[in-house]
Structure 1
């Protein structure tokens, strides 16, 4: 059973810890908002009580010390009120939060402040700022001290006046001083708990998100402040406000500083796959447009360091979004993406498409040669600690193009831009490509990304655009030489995989004359290498390379001439492919083997039909027998056994069953378990499809003798019962692959019912199961029919389940 990697587990834990921290911040900030609202309300009440009741009604009765205390406390409360008004935007002229940057813009001549402005700043403005800051910071403390002193002494009376007047003054002053004391207690809470906690939150955010020192603390503080301000306006606004949503929101900011902050945070959060901002950003077209504009190398009015940094971060974000972006909806997008490839330091300008270079191109070629010398270095920027690898922008540019090329319309737009297409295919046409790859690992990485884009374009691009690109590559001898050289390139499996993928698409193109000498030679080299890698017994090849070799070989084997070549190349090729169906191999290799064998059987039935049929049916019978034994020995095991009826003694499936409870203990292993089950379904479909092709060439007594000999215990219809169990299990999983499996079982059952010793009861039970499946999967089948060829499901559409049901009912009757 595959176990989730440490990287994924660490990312999941980091995301969970950050989510808990964000929840704690929201709770504290909501509490802070309520305390702050209470504090401000009491400030209004104290100010009103002091000015209207005490100074307005008892001013002549107050002693001098009380009058002075009331005056100071009233000024402090007024400052609190003005600060609250300014924070809410209700104060038109901000006289209480004047800052030096706001006053240094005027009165400056040729970079130096004028004399009058200096006198005004030093003599008037700065003292006001100092006094205001002192009142804001120490005013509540002074108010607490004065109120506490007056409540302890309580010598409020000045003259012997009427008892009624004194009776009203004393409780009025007591109430006022107690009110100020309580307000002071709230102030202490704000300072000692919330502000201290806020600093802790900032440090924890920087630690858990691994923000760099240069801007991390500032960005974390801005996020906490944003939560606090939203809670002050409406505590409900903070619900669901995460660091990710905050960063995405900054992409709409008109401030370059805030935009850079948002891009930086997104770059950190999405770097290791901890967060996925794709769905959030794709909802807003202005955000995508601004990110695309940022890629343009003159788009950021910043210094060289910040410009390079923000382009690299924006490119990383756009690379994640590219799969959902339509180029036609964003003006200038192609030009912006293309600009990422203009800083290339790669020697790929020597190709056959450029016989003569203009003066500008010659200058660019010299610059490229110079840049190639520093490809592996990091270039210093104006900001300390900000470094960007020279070819990082290039790699991100190709990744963006690869994501964009998932859409056929984007492929047409990319192929329709000659300058961009020339940059993408330039490495492929280079006459020194192989030499340059051996000298520079960075260059090899760029070439790999370039070939990824080329493959995606020729595979996805519609009609004429793809054909034009394929013919351009095929007609260039240097390009074919480079691709063929990659097949035998030692120590660089990614480039070998890219070469296999591209050459496979070229060979499969019906518009290219398959009988040309070049094509025949290229196909021969490609198929030999694919067979060599995929059929290798030793683990000398990487798992991904082996899978790629098998998958591309499976695509090529659909062609009759290629299938014949596979059979003729080695006498034991079919036997070795058949051996890979055994349970010792990994599921994906078994799936690929079944698909290749199916294609070979269709085109070369005289070579493999009977031998392979016996082998496949032997596997079926063996697995059915072992499934029955486990069903009898394990209570309640029918559901599990029927699920793996075509896998039998599959070691991978056994590990899954034994470890099933442990797999469900965490989300990562659960996801791996689902992937494993998906592979099992795909393997089941491939084996059934192969069985159907094999049985299609036999009928009657010959089929019966091959499938169920006279002394075989399965002669009582166990094979048909196995197909029935598969149909029953597929009804609980309404997926296209389950629909395909049900249809394959129905088609196989026709041969079984015609040529095997099955009882009428067994036949009726199977038809009932198929009828039930037909009703359950009716909506799914309609969707598949509607999607048709657009989603690559043409093989699943026919025959209809209703047609199969009618045919089987006729056989039963």
Structure 2
């Protein structure tokens, strides 16, 4: 009763030094495997690229083989074209222009034939690349208008007419291969004919008497035939080199295999090669070195045709899933705002024929969001959250009409949740997720599932169970957010009427991992006063948590879940008289809590629950707590023997137990525990000496020690002398000089304090000092 009154007293003087450096220590005990709200934890630091990522950015990519090959071919092709142009000019200006009257009929015919067939070769060569690219580039610039007009009627028809579109598309490929080979054979025949005719005349050297009589005519003809021969020979060398590298060495297949693009990878690789080769031919031979496969795939995303978009997405998807190329690929994609905007835009496409595009785009965005440097870039794109939210659409209506679509919707759900899970690692993104209309409701909706999905020990997890688990992971990250953003998220999530009931079913029927996530979510939601009451008002939640807390631990994982349930109960009881009443509804709960105070796994959280029950139960219900006094000897023994967290909570619980007992009962408890009062006083003083500064691992230990000292000195004047003997007065002065905000809160969200103590440390120190002064 005394303590209940004291809890409502506000400290009139709140003077707390704020410049104390708090040492950070790390815990390895079972109870602290996860972040406990009863102690703060430092913010995560940004991660730098791993050595593997740095190494992967310096790897020479297989595409260099293609650029080098295209460079060699372009040099040969431009050399042949240059010699051909020179031969044409020489023939027209020098041979035919200067000596046409002196030429014999056969030389005139030879020159004319060579010029004609070389013209045919150059013309066919200029168009061969377009036909060669068509199988890899089905909608190339030369045929887009034609093919679009052919296919447009079928695009507007029913889905069953898509096969007709495929037949037209296949017809274009067959025709392109035939025309390409015909042009190639024509060029080869032209080159062989040119070599034959030129060699015949150069070997024969019979140009007639008129040519012999004219100065330089013979030399002019030899030069022409030499240029024609050189051009044809260079072309044949180029063609042989092409055939050897492409068909014998299988360069394109090898590059596709190194990139691990799969069976369909040869199509984009072939098209990429032709793009490089065409650029080297039309522009500088060095321009091909500026091209790379990622940029090529990025350009395809801007196409108006789904075939090209899908080709580019498949290439990027394969690259980001390859450990060798993922770092460089994501760096190039992340540095291009337009590409990221395009990927985000694709996520919102709803046409059933675009499901694969959405899946590929979602997987790429997921990998982007997994890199810390890209997290903010993804979320900063206008409309990104709305587009990502579309991935969480359940699609139940759609796949009732078409059951085959169920798998696609499930995969999109999983990828969407994975993206939000990665985005939630950033504080600012959490705020955007919470402020996006309807997004939190969609995430919570995915936590709801039939009981059959949540049955334990069901073997391999189903897709639906994976969706439930991943949605729980996202919710957990959101409710664990600290600061004002975390407060907003916990309030908004608790307002959704299905949140607590869905989690109750998961904790009741889910596997151990789902139970763990569900309980941790409830624990974090309990930081909000409104959510705390909503959880308590939801039928069966507290009863379920109590049963889990006392569940026998068969493994470390089960023990962890039990402790999380205990920590959640302690949170629910904190500053909530209603929840205290709900926990105490069954009398055996107190008996069980007292019995596990010696359990090495559960004793910390059992002490926390009892501490809050004693502190916040209504005055009229104090009679039900009378049986807790029997636990005082056990708690006193823990104070004398234990360390750190168990020591902290034992001192706090001892103080609360003392406030519901009288000095005689306290003396009897000391006697039963075989502890002398002087030994207890010495122990409390030693604790203050050990914790010269506030400790991040046990932030309330000095507060609890001073509260216990105040009760002992108020209940027995002899205690004042004992504390004076061990130097308590000087220690109180030291505590007054080192108090910190860390000691002013019951719980913490990250490094942010929540639920401030009604009495400040300064007030407690002054109270203890005044009692000692009055006693002296």
Q: TM-score band, normalised by the shorter chain?
A: 0.5 to 0.7
2:597 pairs, out of 552, 571, 574, with 571
**1:391 aligns to what SS in structure 2?**
helix
Do the aligned residues in 2 keep the contact of 1:294 with 1:310 (CA within 8 Å)?
Answer: yes
1:679 is aligned to none
1:197 is aligned to 245
1:229 pairs, out of 278, 302, 310, with 278
Q: Indicate whether 1:470 and 2:493 are aligned.
A: yes
Q: Alpha-carbon deviations, 1:704-750, whole Å to 9, x = none?
A: xxxxxxxxxxxxxxxxxxxxxxxxxxxxxxxxxxxxxxxxxxxxxxx
Paired with 1:498 and 1:129, the residues of 2 have a C-alpha distance of: 61
Deviation of 1:142 (Å): 1.9
1:402 is aligned to 421
Deviation of 1:178 (Å): 2.4
Paired with 1:54 and 1:396, the residues of 2 have a C-alpha distance of: 72
Do the aligned residues in 2 keep the contact of 1:294 with 1:314 (CA within 8 Å)?
Answer: yes
**1:462 aligns to what SS in structure 2?**
helix
1:290 is aligned to 342
Paired with 1:559 and 1:170, the residues of 2 have a C-alpha distance of: 108
2:503 is aligned to 483
Change (3 A) 1:207 1:293: same
2:221 is aligned to 173
Superposed, 1:403-802 pairs within 5 Å as 403-428=422-447, 433-438=450-455, 441-460=462-481, 462=485, 465-473=488-496, 476=498, 479-487=499-507, 489=509, 492-513=511-532, 517-518=536-537, 522=541, 538=555, 570-573=596-599, 598-605=644-651
Deviation of 1:511 (Å): 4.8
1:143 is aligned to 194
1:34 is aligned to 75
1:319 is aligned to 366
Do the aligned residues in 2 keep the contact of 1:574 with 1:597 (CA within 8 Å)?
Answer: no
Do the aligned residues in 2 keep the contact of 1:560 with 1:603 (CA within 8 Å)?
Answer: no
Do the aligned residues in 2 keep the contact of 1:46 with 1:180 (CA within 8 Å)?
Answer: yes
Paired with 2:486 and 2:153, the residues of 1 have a C-alpha distance of: 64
Do the aligned residues in 2 keep the contact of 1:248 with 1:280 (CA within 8 Å)?
Answer: no
1:266 pairs, out of 316, 319, 339, with 316
Paired with 1:108 and 1:398, the residues of 2 have a C-alpha distance of: 37
Deviation of 1:221 (Å): 0.3
1:45 is aligned to 86
1:344 is aligned to 395
2:638 is aligned to none
Deviation of 1:265 (Å): 0.9
**2:209 aligns to what SS in structure 1?**
coil
1:706 is aligned to none
Between 284-293 and 336-345, report the one with greater CA deviation: 336-345
**2:480 aligns to what SS in structure 1?**
helix
Deviation of 1:466 (Å): 0.9
**1:75 aligns to what SS in structure 2?**
helix
2:42 is aligned to none
Paired with 2:148 and 2:304, the residues of 1 have a C-alpha distance of: 21
Compare relative contact order (CA 8 Å, sep 6+) and give the higher one, 1 or 2: 2
Do the aligned residues in 2 keep the contact of 1:398 with 1:450 (CA within 8 Å)?
Answer: yes
Deviation of 1:39 (Å): 2.1
Do the aligned residues in 1 keep the contact of 2:494 with 2:500 (CA within 8 Å)?
Answer: no
Change (3 A) 1:421 1:153: same
Paired with 1:691 and 1:88, the residues of 2 have a C-alpha distance of: 74
Q: Alpha-carbon deviations, 1:476-504, whole Å to 9, x = none?
A: 5xx434424433546x4442343133222
1:217 is aligned to 266
Q: Indicate whether 1:154 and 2:205 are aligned.
A: yes
TM-score w.r.t. the length of structure 1 is 0.54
Q: Which runs of 5+ in 2 are unaligned?
A: 1-51, 131-139, 155-177, 370-374, 581-589, 605-641, 655-678, 687-694, 707-730, 735-748, 754-776
Do the aligned residues in 1 keep the contact of 2:433 with 2:439 (CA within 8 Å)?
Answer: yes
Do the aligned residues in 1 keep the contact of 2:125 with 2:183 (CA within 8 Å)?
Answer: no
Deviation of 1:398 (Å): 2.3
Change (3 A) 1:223 1:601: farther
Deviation of 1:21 (Å): 2.6
Change (3 A) 1:87 1:142: closer
Q: Please, what is the CA RMSD of the aligned residues?
A: 5.5
Do the aligned residues in 2 keep the contact of 1:43 with 1:80 (CA within 8 Å)?
Answer: no
Paired with 2:464 and 2:149, the residues of 1 have a C-alpha distance of: 53
Paired with 1:405 and 1:160, the residues of 2 have a C-alpha distance of: 91
1:59 is aligned to 100
Q: Alpha-carbon deviations, 1:168-216, whole Å to 9, x = none?
A: 2222222222223222232122212234423522211333344454x43
Do the aligned residues in 2 keep the contact of 1:98 with 1:129 (CA within 8 Å)?
Answer: no
**1:234 aligns to what SS in structure 2?**
coil
Larger Rg: 2
Change (3 A) 1:344 1:245: same
Do the aligned residues in 1 keep the contact of 2:549 with 2:566 (CA within 8 Å)?
Answer: yes
Paired with 2:221 and 2:512, the residues of 1 have a C-alpha distance of: 86
Do the aligned residues in 1 keep the contact of 2:440 with 2:493 (CA within 8 Å)?
Answer: no
TM-score w.r.t. the length of structure 2 is 0.56
Q: Alpha-carbon deviations, 1:433-486, whole Å to 9, x = none?
A: 32344498222122223223333333348266414323225x65xx43442443
Paired with 2:475 and 2:150, the residues of 1 have a C-alpha distance of: 60
Deviation of 1:368 (Å): 5.7
Paired with 2:242 and 2:151, the residues of 1 have a C-alpha distance of: 41
2:333 is aligned to 281
Paired with 2:202 and 2:88, the residues of 1 have a C-alpha distance of: 18
**1:36 aligns to what SS in structure 2?**
helix
Do the aligned residues in 1 keep the contact of 2:198 with 2:226 (CA within 8 Å)?
Answer: yes
Superposed, 1:291-310 pairs within 5 Å as 291-298=343-350, 304-305=352-353, 307-310=354-357
Deviation of 1:19 (Å): 4.4
Q: Alpha-carbon deviations, 1:663-710, whole Å to 9, x = none?
A: xxxxxxxxxxxxxxxxxxxxxxxxx966999999999xxxxxxxxxxx
Give the length in aligned residue pairs: 536
Change (3 A) 1:105 1:280: closer
Do the aligned residues in 1 keep the contact of 2:487 with 2:528 (CA within 8 Å)?
Answer: no
2:740 is aligned to none
Deviation of 1:139 (Å): 1.9
